[in-house]
Structures are given as structure tokens and as C-alpha cells.
Structure 1
Amino acid sequence: MKKFFNMKKIISFMLVFTMMFVLAACGKKGDKVDENKTGTEEPTPEVTETPTTTETPDKTDTTALAGTVSITGSTSVEKILMDMISDFTAYNPDVKINYTGTGSSAGITDAMNGANDIGASSRNLKEEEKGLEQVIFAYDGIAVVLHPSNKIADLTIEQILKIYSGEITNWSELGGKDANIIVVSREGASGTRGAFEELTGLGDVGLVESATVVEGNGNVQATVAGNENAIGYVSFSFINEKVKAVTVDGIEATPENAKEGTYVLSRPFLLVYNKDTASPEASAFLEYVVSPDAQEFVEDHGGIRVD
């Protein structure tokens, strides 16, 4: 009886052990099914590499620029330069740029002496000034215009000076018809007038008292277009079929000739600086002024782009 009981215990034990083994195996198999087929596990995210780029960041990608930049010099560049400064500092709010119109020569001298960071000039550098670095950011071209019916096609710079100073008063003196010349000029505060007087030499002798003085390129154009005996001067952008632009010393008034310097009534707008002492902020602004965004301001004010 005892032997039978022991045998029964052994069989029972074996049955329990076998069931536990089976259950354990099922559990492992179930776990594997759950992991691979139930979809309850988070999928491993796919890793993609971020492509690298060597493109130059635009002006919205501001760097750690902070400081003050001093610019002195030409008043002729003021309108273009002030718009450029406003745009540049909007994207670089920790940079302050101070501009003071003191004249081209003063701005260049300040740059040579270290009295400013950048000098602004509306003329080419003289031989003794060429130790400075320069950035041309615009060109200024001025066309001399007549009524389309006027047969005069070319004037020399000397003839233009004599007309505007009052020494030549009749078109017949230049091979035209016998009619008094109506001289049309810009107002005294005009940058275009300042450039015209500087380039022709009129600033040294003075405008004829009988001249018709009007404000703006548009008014000069309209006045000349409305009087067959008139002569005026306008920015290149105001040349159209309403007026006739004469050649000056045989050279046509075009942006290409202005950039090449062959058209005498043109000049570059420069920023000059000492490369050994230029701050990061000044260097950044010098790079900005020739950018496409900055060049839009050149066109806005009747200048000629460098790009």
C-alpha cells in the first residue's frame, strides 16, 4: 500500500512538472507573438541624415554682431546709404551705424586718419588716397536732355558748362536754330544738381540767374518735353521718348558707359576703409551693400546697380 502511494505521488509530481513546463513554453511563445504581431510596441524611428550646405546665409541669419560703426563723407549718397543702414540694422539689431554727411574729401580723410570706420565718397580716389580699400556700391549717371525736335545730338562738357553758366545763350551758337536756350536745373538741395555742378565745373562759376529751377527729375523731364528750346539734366532712369538724351563728348548716356567711366557725367559711389582696422560689424556692412537686397535701394533712388 505504501509502495503504491509513493508511486502515485511520483506520477502526480511528474504531471505537475510537465504542465508547468508546457505553460512556461506557451508563455514564451505568446510573448514573442505579442512583440512581433500585436503592434503595441513603438516602432523604431527612421534616422535620416541632415544634408550639409555650404550656401552663404542670408541677412536673416544674424550672427553675433554688436557694436557701433561710424560713417562720414559724401552727402550725395545719403538717401541710398540711409535705406541700406536701416535695412541692415533691422536684421542686426545690436549694430548701430552712425552716418554724418561731411563731404567726400572729409570722409576719405577721416578713413585715412582712423577718425571713422568707413568713409563715403561720390568720386574716385585721388592718387594720394589710394592706400585705402574701396567698395563701389553704386554708380550715378546724369543725362543731358533736349526736346525731341531739337537737332543738336552731341554736346561737349565745355559747351554744357557754358550753357548753364550763361556764356552760351542761343542754340545757333551750337549749330542749331536761332532761339534762346531755356536752361532747366534742379533745386539747390538736389543731390543730382550737386553731382552735375561738380562734374561739369559749374559749381565753381555758378548757375545762370535766368535758369528755370524745378524740383525732381520728373519735373525737369516734363519741362524739357514741353518746350522745344529747353535743356535739362536727369538721372538715366528718366530717359524716354518724351525727351532726347544727347551724347556728351561723343559718348552715349548708358549705364554700361557710366560703369566703365567713359561717360563723363557719371561717377562711382564708394565706401572706403582701412582693412587692417575694420571691425567685424563694418566688414559685414561692406559685404551687405553689394548684395541684391541692398542694390534695390540704389535703383529706388535713381542710381545704377553694380550687379
Structure 2
Amino acid sequence: MDKKIMYAAIAVIAVVVIAGLAVGLGSNNNAQKKTPVTEIGSDTMLELMQMCAEDFNADSTTASVSITGGGSGVGITKLIQNETDVAQASRAMTAAEAQNAIAQGVNALEFKVAIDGIAIITNSENTVTTLTLDQLASIYNGTYTNWNQVGGPDLTIVLYGRQPTSGTYQFFEEVVLKKGKTGASEYSAAMKQQTGNQQILSQVEQDPGAIGYVGVGYAKQGGSSVDVLSIQKNDTSTAYNALDESAVLNQSYSLARYLFLYTNGVPTGAVKDWMAYVLSTEGGQKIVTDAGFYPLPNDVQQEMISKLG
């Protein structure tokens, strides 16, 4: 081969290689420019927010969101300690937490992002289909220990619930146990504390005497081995079910609640992009439905979007 031709060929190859490296480095630089956003908290919201993050991360050129569970209390504490960008919580922040945040220089801004109905689940072998709130309280405070005390089979009641750091644990305690008319206003020591909704669901699927409470999105995953009980406010009121969207949205279902995200002040940059996605109709609100929860009503959605500034 003529030396001039050989040198020319080598030069062309070198240019191609260098160009390829430049493109590769450019791609890496673009990937590295994504700002990491951390979100920690509610286990009830964990699967939902992971689904949102996966969808958001696939398209976002500005941010990369990572989601961690641990419980609502953990998430709020991390936000107050400036150890996370966003806290996810299945309950509203308490007055004490809000005061602690202010003392730490954190302006905790609350965003409603979805609606949940805490579902009361039993094994499908159990014939009980409806409970009043007072019966539910009497079951979880240990006053009732056999299903025949609420019209069911002669079978020992086995309690499953969450840990104290869970927003669902705290919400249930406030709305059910502290309003019960019989027995203590606290959980029975016999309740088997589980780390997450999925663990409760699995236990109830296997135990004929079991009762548990989970987010409605998880209850929908239970299949034929789990029943979702209807709940009455009292003996004479209408019974409603967590699977009835209209009853949850209009608060007829007694265990309906909002799910929240908290940021330190009005979010900016990558955190604002993430929050805008979660609140958007075609983004996070669609995935809320896909995950088995209920999206925000339009007026609430617009109110939350306006808080982004």
C-alpha cells in the first residue's frame, strides 16, 4: 500500500475514534448533569413513588429521583434534619414536627399528591364482611379476641399492623382506637407489627383468623385469598368500602385520607421539576391510578400546583 494512502487511512480512523470518544464523553457528561433528588418516608407510598420515579427518570434531562421507605415519621425526620429533599408521608405532619422543623430552620411545605382509603382486610375464609368503627377499635385494642364476638366463626383473632414510625399506624390510632367506646385507646400488645403493607397482606393471605390494615393500592393486589371489609361509622349508618372510589373521595368511607409530600420551602430546580411531574395529570396522577390509589380532584390538584410558584 502506498504510504500516503496508508497515512491518510490512519488519520481517518483516528478522527472517527476521537469523535466517538467525544460523543461518549458528551453522553456521560449529560448523564452526570442530572441533579440527584432524594425522597424518603411512607411505606404505603413506596411502590407508588417508585413507579413515578421510574417514569420520571426515563424522560427527565434535569433530575434523577431515588425513593426510599422507612415510614412517614422517618421521612419527616430526615426532612427536618436536611437529609432528604422530599419526605413522603401517609399522614399530615404533626404540630410538634412542624415546630421542630421551624426550630431547625426548615420551612416544611405540604403537598397533597393522592387519596388513599385504608383497607381493612381479612382472610377469605372468614365470613365477617362488615365492622363498625367501634368493633374495629375493640378488635385492635384487644377487647374482642374471637371472631364470634362480631358475628363471625369461632376463631381466634390474629392482629397484624404497622410499626410506630408508620403514618398508617398513627392515622389508625387517631381515627379508630382513640375514638373507640370500649377498652383501651391504644393497640393491643398482641398485635404483630410488620414493616410494610406487603408483609401484612402476606400474613393475612396465610392466616384464616387474621385481620390487617393496608393502603387500598395493596389491598387490590390481594386476590381471592383476601377480603376487604366494609366499615360503618355506627350500628345504624351505611357501610362503605375502601374499594368504592366515590365513597373514599367524598369522605363517606371513614378511613379515607390524603397522601403527602413535603419539601423544604417552595421547591426549585430539579425538586420543582419532580413535584410538577407528580402533580401532573399525564404524569404522577395517572400513575396514582395505575398503582391502585385515587388521584386528586381537579380543584385540589390545581391548588397544589399553584404552590409550586
Asked whether the equivalents of residues 199 and 264 of structure 1 are also in contact (C-alpha less than 8 Å), the reply is no
**Aligned residue identity for 2:95:** E
Say if 2:155 is the partner of 1:180.
Answer: yes
> What residue number does 1:258 align with?
248
Change (3 A) 1:151 1:121: closer
> What residue number does 1:47 align with?
none
> What residue number does 1:142 align with?
118
**Aligned residue identity for 2:143:** E
SS at match of 2:295: coil
Equivalences for residues 207-226 of structure 1 within 5 A: 207-208=190-191
Residue number among 268, 271, 276 corresponding to 1:282 in the alignment: 271
Distance 1:102 1:239 in 2: 22
Distance 2:228 2:293 in 1: 19
User: May I ask how many residue pairs the two structures share in their alignment?
Assistant: 230
Asked whether the equivalents of residues 159 and 191 of structure 2 are also in contact (C-alpha less than 8 Å), the reply is no
Return the offset for 1:196: 5.6
Distance 1:136 1:100 in 2: 19
SS at match of 1:205: coil
**Aligned residue identity for 2:60:** N
Asked whether the equivalents of residues 113 and 295 of structure 2 are also in contact (C-alpha less than 8 Å), the reply is yes
SS at match of 1:289: helix
> What residue number does 1:37 align with?
none
Change (3 A) 1:304 1:148: farther
Structure 1 gaps of 5+ residues are 1-64
SS at match of 1:271: strand
Residue number among 36, 44, 61 corresponding to 1:68 in the alignment: 36
**Aligned residue identity for 1:252:** Y
Change (3 A) 1:113 1:240: closer
Distance 1:144 1:180 in 2: 18
Distance 1:215 1:101 in 2: 13
Q: TM-score, normalised by structure 1?
A: 0.56
Residue number among 277, 286, 289 corresponding to 1:296 in the alignment: 286
Distance 2:205 2:74 in 1: 36
SS at match of 1:136: strand
**Aligned residue identity for 1:140:** D
Return the offset for 1:113: 5.0
**Aligned residue identity for 1:80:** L
**Aligned residue identity for 2:268:** S
Change (3 A) 1:265 1:110: same
